[in-house]
A and B are shown apart, each in its own frame.
Chain A
């Protein structure tokens, strides 16, 4: 599993370089995000623009990350394609996460 992590002021932008976020890599992804959440006090933007498919294990790993961040820090999702966005809505995660179009919008939202 490949993650690219960039720091923009107090925001970590994490881009997942995998076409599928499913049970095959969900545990590894969750652990890595867990590590990031613990090691930094930054907000996290998760860039899913390279991801074509997420299953419920992948969604579960993202939810776990949000729990690690606690109420003070938000996880913002960006770059999700239509079918991934549909699954976020199915799971009602759009009520929990801010879902925006791309990284720029995510960063703009943070600065606002």
Chain B
């Protein structure tokens, strides 16, 4: 028998053209000739979506037929970026769509540019969630994201007179073709009210939850296409709606305006994404946001399970729920509530299911960043949940006392409700207690979680703690975003790397091939030219693609130390204008990133960077040697242009403070060399690429911990001892970078010298300067630099999120995904 005939590319392109024209006419009601760019994007996306929907329905059917164990990834943030290009690549339709559009006289890149980023996240945590969704779908893991359908994503950043200005990001203003509203699957979310003890059945005293209010959670589904198009999973985002049914009395009361006000107040819950670092302590709306999406998710998950199963006994065998940070930690109490109150299970059965189902990922080592909610607030908003939390706490304390008799300090330290001062609920303690797995996101980070962050819990339950080093999806961060390099790689090693990044190891011998190096270099140059055009258009700075593009692109935060790179720029500038010392190579310093609107110091750092740029870029003495640009509005679609154009990747956080970082992986995968501290995943990148292929500097995390512990760090002594440091720091006092307001940046100097330099800039700055010089010298030798860059790309296999997801699947979720990897992988199959 003949094998089925695959449709030809020409046939596919023809059917694609037909689908686009059909949507132009019947979905948008327009003639082809009168389309705006945005409408064209919409029509093309709808044509793509038709194919996705077929695969999405088939995927769900397959999961149900096989009664597959499902994974639910609960996250406050999903930084999805644009979907069209990524979906086309994963469907294997990119070239066909490009050709079809070309025949219609349309450039596919212009169509892609018509898409607004779905910026439903702040940074690494949200982007990690998006990469994980891509990997789960590509590995045929039944994995579903659950989050919030924010009406406003992360703010749009503009730079006005050197300062950050925030504008609302109304990403839904013009509609999105990717989201499907599922009103019929809405869930009722109760909150507020009070508990009342009552004499119940069989004479048992019971508390009832009365006078609650409700809001509705309306699901919005966004398809997530796996590579090859075989699996299409779903990201389910909930929008908060007022309940007309529950609020009928208000509307009937005749006070229409009050009714509308209450309706609007309810719907603010999914109105806006909180920028990180700016969540006011105890902010009620944030607590409600967290609970809202957790409650929607848990209710939906339990309901979906009961649709295909009798009873909940087997729930944990078929369900895994991963908590992305503590934001969804209320899932512990909500799952207990749903199992006990709504489904009649007893405490022990419910607790057994809860612990076996939930797993928690920690993302921060900063104790002050661990979420705590005032007990009084939780009691007012979620009285039944507080009751459950306190019962969990009571049982935890019994366990601790039984295992460590007499150690009341330990009991107090691990307690979920902290009664020191105003009582607070410690969400990390709740998440750890209610989960069977607690993981960090890089080797160093996971170690520090055990030894520094929650050592008491590690002593209690060492078997729960594990590491899952973060990863990135190569489909978005190389295949889609750097097509020229992706093509070169595919020509060299075949296309297997798109699903098994370890295949890139086959590039290693080519690092010694002059022809390959030349091609690699040319691609980097073209990408720098492309990035240069963006810099010119957005930052109004001209660049030279032959200079070393030295880039730091990430959220602006003191611990990430954009200031350190800025001070290095100052050092280079002063070297030229005061000492007449020419830099070893011309450099273009590029900064990009957003500061939380309420984070004054970070916003001042942006101002300082722009002030330095203003002086450097206009000083004829440094022309052709130094350029500085702050590229505004860093987001996924901009990152896709920045990483391919970088020579040097700045990963210079204070050691011990960055959990993992994933920008470091994206830069390296695109052929940038890393300039980094021994922090987060930098350490593992060094292990993989070899210490000769990475620039490492600075004080180690254990040294910093020791300095802190002994209170032995003396930044002023460093300043007084070093003329180099003095010259850089003293500039902050004067008018050089703030001629209109001399001393504007004096506070930075004060922070460094009088404020204890909490992020250890002065401890690291001299070794940073020396290491930067090594980078410059290497850059002079283009062949040597390119060789190392190729080796970096070749050795990035470990940092695929496919590897991370395989580990989560086998070691936490109890399932083994399909697909092979050359890397030795866990063989657990449950």
Question: Mind listing 16 A-B residue pairs with CB under 8 Å?
Answer: A24-B249, A24-B252, A55-B245, A56-B193, A56-B213, A56-B214, A57-B249, A71-B199, A89-B341, A90-B342, A92-B208, A93-B208, A95-B206, A96-B198, A96-B199, A96-B201
Q: Pick the interface stretch among A6-14, A39-47, A58-66.
A: A58-66
Known contacts A63-B196, A86-B342; A92 and B212 CB within 8 A of each other: no
- Counting chain A CB atoms within 10 Å of each CB, the highest count among B190, B198, B208, B246 belongs to B208
| Cβ–Cβ contact B342 & A56, under 8 A | no
Instruction: Give Cα A42–Cα B614 distance, bound, in whole angstroms.
Output: 87
A20 to B, closest residue via Cβ: B248
Q: Which residue of B200, B204, B248 contacts A22 across the interface (Cβ within 8 Å)?
A: B248
Once A71-B199, A96-B198, A96-B201 are accepted as A-B contacts, the answer to whether A91 and B212 lie under 8 Å apart by CB is: yes
Complex contact A95–B249 (CB within 8 A)? no
A57 vs B199: C-alpha distance when bound (angstroms): 20
Please indicate the chain A residues that have their CB under 8 angstroms from the CB of B246 in the complex. Answer: 22, 55
A23, CB-defined interface residue at 8 Å: yes
Is A17 in contact with chain B by the CB < 8 A criterion? no
Is the CB–CB distance between A91 and B248 below 8 Å?
no
Interface contact A92-B341, CB-CB below 8 Å:
yes
B residues 181-214 with Cβ under 8 Å of A? 188, 190, 193, 196, 198-201, 204, 206-214
Q: Which residues from A are CB-within-8-Å of B249? A: 22-24, 55, 57
Q: Can you name 11 extra interface pairs (CB under 8 A) apart from A22-B246, A94-B344?
A: A20-B248, A55-B246, A55-B249, A59-B210, A60-B211, A63-B210, A67-B198, A91-B210, A96-B201, A96-B208, A97-B201
- Does the CB pair B200–A56 fall under 8 Å? no
Residues of B within 8 Å of A20, CB to CB, are 248
Indicate if the CB atoms of A90 and B341 lie closer than 8 Å.
yes
Contact, CB under 8 Å: B248 / A63: no
* Complex contact A63–B341 (CB within 8 A): no
Q: How far is the CA of A66 from the CA of B198 in the complex (A)?
A: 10
Contact A91 B208, beta carbon cutoff 8 Å: yes
CB atoms of A60 and B210 under 8 A apart: yes
User: Could you tell me the distance in whole angstroms from the C-beta of A67 to the nearest C-beta in chain B?
Assistant: 8
A53 near B245 with CB under 8 A, answer yes
Near B by CB (< 8 A), chain A positions 66-112 give: 66-67, 71, 86, 89-98
Name the CB-closest residue of B to A24. Answer: B249
In the complex, A57→B252 CA distance in Å?
15
Most buried by B among A53, A55, A59, A67: A55
A67 CA to B211 CA, complexed, in Å: 16
Task: Give the 4 A-B CB pairs with smallest separation, nearest first.
Answer: A23-B249, A95-B206, A95-B200, A96-B200
Known: A23-B249, A24-B249, A56-B213. A92 touches B206 (CB 8 A): yes
Give residues of chain B (205-241) contacting chain A, Cβ–Cβ below 8 Å: 206-214
Assess the B252–A63 pair: CB atoms within 8 A: no
Cβ proximity bits B157-185 to A, threshold 8 Å, 1 near / 0 not = 00000000000000000000000000000
Contact of B342 with A89 in the complex, beta carbons under 8 Å: yes
- A56 CA / B341 CA spacing, docked (Å): 16
Name the B residues within 8 Å of A92 (CB-CB). 206-209, 341, 384
Contacts of A98 in B (CB 8 A): 201
Q: Quote the shortest CB–CB distance from A112 to chain B (angstroms).
A: 14
Closest to B199 in A: A71
B: number of interface residues (CB 8 Å): 27
- The docked-state distance in angstroms from the alpha carbon of A95 to that of B199 is 9
User: How does the 8 Å CB contact mask read for B324-366 relative to A, with 1 for contact and 0 for none?
Assistant: 0000000000000000011010000000000000000000000
* Minimum CB distance partner of B211 in chain A: A56
Bound form: Cα–Cα A71–B199 in Å: 7
Q: Which of A53, A71, A86, A95 contacts B208 (CB 8 A)?
A: A95
What residue of chain A has the Cβ atom nearest to residue B337's Cβ?
A90
- Within the complex, what minimum Cβ distance (angstroms) separates B249 from chain A? 4
C-alpha gap A93/B344 in the complex (Å): 12
Residues of B within 8 A of A60 (CB): 210-211
Closest to B249 in A: A23
When chains A and B are docked, how far (Å) is the Cα of A55 from the Cα of B248?
10
- Rounded to whole angstroms, the CA-CA distance of A63 and B199 in the bound complex is 11
Q: How far is the CA of A55 from the CA of B342 in the complex (A)?
A: 16
**CB-defined interface of B624-648 with A at 8 Å, one 1/0 digit per residue?**
0000000000000000000000000
Known A23-B249, A63-B198; contact A56-B206, beta-carbon cutoff 8 A: no
Interface 1/0 per residue, B494-528 and A, CB below 8 Å? 00000000000000000000000000000000000
The docked-state distance in angstroms from the alpha carbon of A57 to that of B207 is 17
Q: How far is the CB of A53 from chain B (nearest CB, A)?
A: 6
Which of A20, A60, A90, A92 neighbours the largest number of chain B CB atoms within 10 Å of its CB?
A92
Residues on B with C-beta less than 8 A from A53 are: 245
The answer for the CA separation of A43 and B201 in the assembled complex, in Å, is 15
* Closest A residue to B250 using CB positions: A23
Minimum C-beta distance from B252 to chain A (A): 6
Q: List residues of chain A with CB within 8 A of the CB of B208.
A: 63, 91-93, 95-96
**Distance, CA A20 to CA B209, complexed state (A):** 20
* Interface of chain A residues 1 through 54 with chain B (CB within 8 A): 20, 22-24, 53
The residue on B at minimum CB distance from A94 is B344
Q: How far does the alpha carbon of A59 sit from the alpha carbon of B211 in the complex, in Å?
A: 8
Chain A residues with Cβ below 8 Å from B207 are 92
Residues of B within 8 A of A89 (CB): 341-342, 344
Nearest residue, chain A, Cβ from B245: A53
When the two chains form their complex, are residues B252 and A96 in contact, meaning their CB atoms are under 8 A apart?
Answer: no
Name the residue of chain A whose CB is nearest to the CB of B207: A92
**Chain B residues, Cβ within 8 Å of A55:** 214, 245-246, 249
Say how far A68's CB is from chain B's closest CB, in angstroms: 13
A56, A63, A71, A93: residue with the most chain B Cβ atoms closer than 10 Å: A56
Asked whether A90 and B201 contact (CB < 8 A) given A22-B248, A23-B249, the answer is: no
Residues of A near B214 (CB, < 8 A) are: 55-56
Chain B residues positioned under 8 Å from A95 (CB to CB): 200-201, 204, 206, 208
Chain B residues whose CB sits within 8 angstroms of the CB of A66 once the complex forms:
198
A35–B341 alpha-carbon span in the complex (Å): 31
With A and B bound together, what is the CA distance between A109 and B712 in angstroms?
A: 77
Best-buried of A57, A63, A67, A95 by chain B (most CB within 10 Å): A95
| CB of A102 to closest CB in B, whole Å | 19
Closest to B195 in A: A92
Docked complex Cα distance between A66 and B208 (Å)? 13
- Whole-angstrom distance between the Cβ of B380 and the nearest chain A Cβ: 15
A19 to chain B, nearest CB (A): 11
Give the CA-CA distance A67 to B196 in the complex, in Å: 12
Shortest B446–chain A CB gap in Å is: 39
